[in-house]
Chain A
């Protein structure tokens, strides 16, 4: 069965530290990849997406992610986090020709200390 795995359940960083959140998926065919963020008490917002082309994608708020097909990975990065980045981060995969459903990872809670 297809699945998405996020390696870190809870990450705690100080402001200005660099961030990398891991995401791996299990499917050998064509996929679209997404990172969503959920701030406390709010709905999911799209951070960035990969459909095709340049495997390094840039999103909002200084986030970027790199698709490495050979590793089935789509890790999220940010060079310098801020307190306002405290949120839950979800990696998601959409598998081609499966009706558009998103398969989500378990989520990573990011806490940034001021």
Chain B
């Protein structure tokens, strides 16, 4: 099975930086995804990490450490529209492409 833990909620001000951590335990790890989900909408893809290191994509960066079972999503220069739930999801070679989602982290951006 896969245990995926991420904080329930984080609050930050506009223009600031927020780091959302995700820890996981899984056999046959085969990649970690981050998705953004606004209320009432489907998730949208943000990033995919399968090798250790940092992947930067504009204001969003994602980091992975396979040995530690740890990832984080870094949101820079926060905007009000970044208020959303951020989902960490893991896939493994045992699960034929299935994604196991964490509970999600609700990020609230305040003025």
Q: A and B, one complex?
A: no
